[in-house]
Chain A
Amino acid sequence: MLKPKAIAQVLAQVNTAGVKATLLLNPDGSLISFAGWSEREARVLAAVASNVWFAYERHGRPAGSEVINEDGKESLQDLILECEAGKLCVSRASKMLLCLVADEETEWGLLKAKVIGNNGYAFVRHPT
């Protein structure tokens, strides 16, 4: 089960050191919770992030990432993109996606560390 307010608080804690917004979304792009930005911007970003994610997952598979998911299939685990005005990091979190938006100066490693740290939280485990 998800505790909506607790999740929003956890996500808000990620928004430091250059990270401007943190989102939790369903694979279909619907927003579950977010921190930073307005709801409107968050919704748009959620849609874009899920789209990009699936474009890579569908077309990038032959190139092969080594990660094996719960079903024993190979699948994409993280996606880090450098954009003109910032960095975007999307990561699989159980059956959901976690998405971080940071400014250009943020270091790759930091972004990655934040994503991994967040994935450790109980809330992104399978909802029970």
Chain B
Amino acid sequence: MKKKVLLMGKSGSGKTSMRSIIFANYIARDTRRLGATIDVEHSNVRFLGNLVLNLWDCGGQEVFMENYIAAQRDHIFRNVEVLIYVFDVESREYERDMHYFQSCIDAILQNSKDARIFCLIHKMDLVQEEQRDLVFQERETDIKRRSAPLGITAFGTSIWDETLYKAWSSIVYSLIPNVRHLEAHLDSFCSICEADEVVLFERTTFLVISHSTHKEHADIHRFEKVSNIIKQFKLSCSKSQAQFQCMEVRADDFAVFIDVLTPNTYVMVVMSDPTIQSAATLINIAAARSHFHRIEQGQIAR
């Protein structure tokens, strides 16, 4: 199942940077070396067994933008499943950015009116922390107004913290077929293990695909943080020629297991009952593998 995903926004807004971090194992600092994208760079990312993201990273310099909107209009905006529009929060040319955004929205309305649209207000790290919420809300309201009648979902993001993972997890979540079904199984797995929480990550990107929470936790950003941390740890493992397989973190009042679940996923199991032994949880993870593998391949009927 191939899904066309457009990545658009003005030059230097950070499209290629985020794509490289999420899908190509870059760390944030490496993105400073990226040059401007010329025309469109295509890449196919296999994501879970049979879902392929067909990413169109569209270089954002004005000559290219004009070209997308006019000469290549049909070619670019046809059959789009997802449009991801990236705004540089610090851009000095606000009205011009908005002009191009609205042109793209028009083109989507004509060619792929069912596409989902995500707007990322990017480089939020450059805004002072106490002003971020306010700036974000202002931008979101304005973008929503301008994109009517199409609905959009907005995120404030930065490559320097976990917000990037939050946004991309939501984007990817919206693309996974059967995600409810997967969630139901994850939920029963969570009860059998007597776990507080079970989280499923995609194996290469470490984006959160699904989760089941039986005991609430105060930090609502915990998933993105874990994605970010484990992904970086995984990258540092591969630097020393080792492959990250699994880890167990144990403290006085909880234990966490991160382990391979299927060829395309990792699972994280959070346990807070100190009487439950690690070996029992590990046996359960091992026992769940083949089951989730079949779900992934779509072999278990709904």
Contact = CB atoms under 8 A, between A and B. Distances in A.
A16 interface: no
B275 interface: yes
A5 to B, nearest CB: 6
A2 B288 CA distance: 11
B209 interface: no
B192 A33 contact: no
Interface stretch (A23-31, A58-66, A70-78, A84-92): A23-31
A30 B275 CA distance: 14
Contact of B277 (A1, A3, A32, A128): A32
A8 B288 CA distance: 21
Do most interface residues of chain A lie in helix, strand or loop, or is the interface mixed? Answer: mixed
Contacts of B276: 4-5, 33
Nearest to B278: A30
B277 A5 contact: no
Given A3-B192, A4-B193, A8-B275, A32 B280 contact: yes
B70 interface: no
B249 interface: no
Interface residues of B, number: 16
A127 interface: yes
B283 interface: yes
Nearest to A30: B279
Interface in B264-302: 273, 275-281, 283-284, 286-288
Contacts of B161: none
Nearest to B286: A127
The 3 A-B pairs of least Cβ separation, nearest first, read: A4-B276, A30-B279, A127-B287
Interface of B: 192-194, 273, 275-281, 283-284, 286-288
Given A30-B278, A30-B279, A34-B277, 20 more contacts: A1-B192, A1-B288, A2-B280, A2-B283, A2-B287, A4-B273, A4-B280, A5-B194, A5-B275, A5-B276, A7-B280, A25-B279, A26-B279, A31-B277, A32-B277, A32-B280, A33-B280, A127-B283, A127-B284, A128-B287
